């Protein structure tokens, strides 16, 4: 698929979204690209919202969306180019004009010119946030402030060959950067699966010839590890210039919830900088490769490719704060850096979670950050490939609900196909039936009654969902206790919940009252679903998910109930509330608690169509038990001995658990069959070992 063909296909998908959700093509275009930026971790979340006005001296203001990155203090503004303009290229003049429209909003925020605007407008919300964050720069103990503004220019054209990336002037000492996502960049992102863009650090760009290092250890074809003292000023400026892009997932998440500067680190920086190296634990960094020179003083690193900080985020952020807020002199500050150069992407996937866990062992690390490669996702992907959806809507063929476990997997699968092949692929794997990991979390958590978490955005709900699946510390979660229940029935119900969510989005968009307000759809949808699912659960019943799976659509009584409840939800969210901003109010647990106290009107037909929840009797041999038995028997003696060996090696197994694994071995050596309870316990132990890092490919069949 060539560039023009891909952009044409991408634009058609955008237009389809605009028609489906009855939004502007610009909003649909921005949402499509912003979702990809979330996937590749360029941004953590985004809000759509169009705003156009005149600012200082009649200057034009225009934006299409925004978000604030708590982890690095960057305020992102999005502006979409005129998509209907016939020109095929985007000139420097046009780019400058678009950027100035977003910059003008920043000026109006800092100068409080927004106070005369309509309070419910996107512009007022954004400008007021910018004003508050800018003034936090003066508060030494608060780290949620305005460190940088980044403007995203989004277009379906290609950059002019004469494009020059000219540095923008600061706005009241706040640096301004911009990124242009044009047709070529969108196409290139699609080809590589929307992977995170690497940050390559050329050290001479940060005021030093290089960093002296000692090579400490290595393993052929996997990694080389170094110890190196990095100047504090260099580290701070790497962070200030690149922000969250140099932070590995768990570090970014940690910095997003801290709020206050570590006073101990700050005190050392300001009063005893020469002791910093002695008192601070330093940072742990990974890289895909380095450039170095052999000097008389030793090995000197001059470039670090794809630098990622996997531990030491607070140290890094505190150094940056000292420069930003207090103009501190960091010339005497040195930070110990443990640098691991990883051989390839496969090694990165394998080792980064291990390095991050070990490096953060003295601080609580959220297991959500290591969730992307969890066996739960592998199982869902496996089920999605083999369970075909019923043929409906007059079609004579069954389709697949495509679970996109890896970023951009669906698009990449089509990049080398001809137009005819791509069309055939999409018939079997419709784009509307693609589910991403964050989508899955959103669908399930809405249904489970956590709309306030869903309202917080993709990262927050994914974190909550991961805790549900694997437990708060990687133990005691749903997967460990009951992984065999992730079966065909589970998958079909999951898809039914996805259908409810997706069709509720479309339904709300089509309602006359919503067409007038065009706001808070995401919050309305998740709260509506949570309210109805919770109502059913209180009655000991459930929405008929099997009926939805068989029809691949919601049924009439559910549709009518959603039409009614969604309007009530809008009135509830915009009515009396403790937080002025509606989207912020929807994120509060208190908002959800109040919603549960409301006497929502339930239609008789909806009530009648609810089905009883089936509770399995203790005497029943359940599908879960049968699956557990089959799994354990199918694995051979060598497998169970190796998992026992691995668990003992890393001190994960108790003597009691070793005994249960011995029972799994005896199935093959003595023909002894465990009891139903023992089968369940063996499965629990297996899941526990997998969640702690055991992989089947680690079994050495030579022993």
pLDDT more than 70, % of the chain: 89
Q: How confident is the model at residue 253 (pLDDT cuts 50, 70, 90)?
A: low
Mean pLDDT of the chain: 85
Q: For 202-240, give one letter per residue: b (16+ CB within 10 A) or e.
A: ebeebeeebbbbeeeeeeeeebbbbebebbbbbbbbbbb
> What CA dihedral angle connects 513, 516, 520 and 521, to 10 degrees?
60
Quick: pLDDT tens for 393-418. 887 789 999 998 877 788 878 877 87
Task: Kindly state the average pLDDT of the residues 424-452.
Answer: 91
What does the alpha-carbon distance between residue 248 and residue 252 come to, in Å, rounded to a whole number? Answer: 6
Smallest Cα–Cα separation from 700: which of 649, 635, 642, 631?
642
Strands of the sheet with 148-154, listed across from one edge: 47-54, 60-69, 74-80, 148-154, 176-181
Higher pLDDT, 381 or 580: 381
CA dihedral sign, ordered 387, 466, 595, 535: positive
Q: Measure the CA–CA gap between 522 and 145, rounded to whole angstroms.
A: 27
pLDDT recorded at residue 631: 78
Whether 372 shows a pLDDT value over 80: the answer reads no
User: Which of the pair, 263 or 577, is modelled with greater confidence?
Assistant: 577
- In this predicted model, what pLDDT tens digit does every residue of 113-126 receive, in sequence order? 999 998 878 999 89
SS3 content of the chain, % helix, strand, coil (to 5): 55, 15, 30
DSSP for residue 83: T
The answer to whether residue 700 scores a pLDDT higher than 60 is: no
User: Lowest-confidence range among 136-140, 377-381, 626-630?
Assistant: 626-630
Residue 309 has pLDDT above 80, yes or no: yes
pLDDT of residue 630: 76
pLDDT per residue as tens digits for the range 181-213: 999 888 887 776 656 678 899 999 999 999 999
Within 136-231, residue ranges assigned H as helices are 183-191
> pLDDT tens digit string along 214-242?
999 888 778 889 999 999 999 999 998 88
What's the average model confidence in pLDDT over 164-170?
A: 87
pLDDT tops 50 at residue 366: no
Q: pLDDT tens across 480-490, in order?
A: 777 778 889 99
Both structure tokens of 686: 């297996």
The first and second tokens of residue 250, run together, are 């768990």
Considering only 94-98, 452-456, 614-618, which range has the smallest mean pLDDT? Answer: 614-618
**Residue 49 to residue 118: CA distance in whole angstroms:** 14
């Amino acid at each position: 698929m060539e560039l023009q063909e891909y952009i044409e296909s991408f634009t058609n998908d955008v237009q389809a979204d605009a028609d489906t959700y009855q939004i502007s093509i610009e909003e649909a275009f921005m949402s499509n690209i912003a979702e990809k930026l979330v996937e590749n971790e360029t941004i953590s979340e985004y809000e759509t919202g169009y705003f156009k006005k005149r600012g200082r001296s009649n200057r034009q203001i225009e934006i299409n969306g925004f978000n604030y990155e708590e982890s690095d203090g960057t305020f992102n503004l999005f502006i979409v180019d005129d998509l209907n303009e016939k020109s095929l290229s985007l000139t420097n003049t046009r780019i400058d004009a678009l950027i100035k429209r977003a910059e003008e909003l920043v000026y109006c925020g800092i100068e409080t010119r927004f106070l005369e605007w309509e309070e419910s407008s996107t512009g007022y919300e954004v400008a007021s946030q910018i004003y508050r964050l800018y003034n936090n720069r003066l508060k030494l103990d608060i780290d949620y402030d305005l460190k940088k503004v980044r403007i995203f220019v989004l277009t379906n054209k290609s950059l002019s060959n004469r494009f020059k990336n000219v540095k923008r002037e600061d706005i009241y000492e706040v640096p301004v950067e911009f990124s242009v996502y044009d047709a070529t960049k969108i196409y290139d992102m699609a080809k590589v699966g929307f992977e995170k863009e690497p940050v390559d650090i050329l050290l001479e760009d940060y005021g030093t010839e290089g960093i002296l290092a000692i090579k400490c250890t290595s393993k052929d074809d996997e990694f080389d590890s170094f110890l190196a003292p990095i100047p504090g000023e260099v580290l701070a400026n790497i962070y200030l210039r690149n922000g969250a892009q140099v932070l590995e997932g768990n570090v970014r998440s940690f910095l997003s919830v801290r709020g206050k500067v570590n006073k101990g680190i700050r005190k050392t920086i300001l009063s005893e900088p020469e002791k910093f190296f002695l008192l601070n634990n330093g940072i742990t960094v990974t890289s895909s490769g380095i450039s170095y020179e052999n000097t008389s003083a030793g090995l000197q690193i001059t470039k670090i490719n794809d630098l990622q900080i996997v531990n030491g985020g607070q140290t890094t952020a505190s150094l940056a704060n000292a420069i930003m807020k207090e103009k501190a002199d960091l010339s005497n500050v040195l930070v110990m850096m443990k640098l691991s150069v990883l051989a390839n992407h496969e090694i990165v996937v394998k080792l980064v979670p291990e390095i991050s866990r070990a490096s953060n062992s003295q601080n609580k690390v959220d297991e959500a950050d290591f969730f992307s490669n969890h066996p739960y996702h592998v199982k869902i992907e496996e089920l999605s490939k083999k369970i075909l959806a019923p043929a409906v809507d007059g079609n004579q063929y069954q389709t697949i609900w495509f679970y996109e476990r890896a970023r951009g997997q669906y698009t990449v699968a089509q990049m080398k196909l001809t137009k005819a092949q791509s069309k055939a692929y999409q018939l079997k794997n419709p784009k509307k039936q693609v589910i991403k990991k964050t989508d899955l979390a959103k669908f399930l958590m809405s249904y489970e009654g956590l709309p306030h978490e869903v309202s917080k955005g993709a990262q927050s709900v994914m974190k909550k969902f991961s805790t549900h699946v694997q437990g708060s510390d990687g133990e005691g979660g749903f997967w460990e206790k009951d992984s065999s229940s992730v079966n065909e029935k589970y998958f079909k119900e999951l898809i039914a919940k996805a259908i409810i969510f997706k069709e509720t989005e479309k339904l709300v968009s089509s309602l006359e009252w919503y067409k007038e307000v065009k706001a808070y759809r995401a919050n309305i949808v998740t709260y509506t679903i949570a309210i109805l699912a919770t109502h059913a659960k209180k009655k000991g019943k459930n929405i008929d998910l099997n009926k939805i799976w068989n029809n691949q659509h919601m049924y009439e009584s559910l549709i009518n109930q959603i039409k009614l409840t969604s309007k009530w939800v809008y009135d509830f969210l915009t009515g009396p509330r403790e937080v002025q901003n509606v989207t912020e109010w929807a994120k509060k647990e208190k908002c959800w608690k109040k919603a549960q106290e409301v006497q929502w009107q339930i239609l008789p037909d909806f009530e009648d169509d609810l089905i009883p929840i089936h509770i399995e009797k203790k005497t029943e041999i359940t599908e879960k038990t049968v699956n557990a038995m089959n799994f354990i028997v199918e694995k051979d003696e060598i497998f169970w001995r190796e998992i026992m060996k691995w668990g003992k090696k890393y001190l994960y197994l108790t003597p009691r658990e070793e005994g249960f694994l011995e029972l799994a071995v005896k199935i093959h050596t003595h023909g002894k069959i465990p009891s139903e309870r023992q089968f369940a316990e063996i499965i629990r132990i297996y899941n526990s070992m997998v969640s702690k890092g055991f992989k089947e490919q680690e079994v050495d069949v030579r022993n």
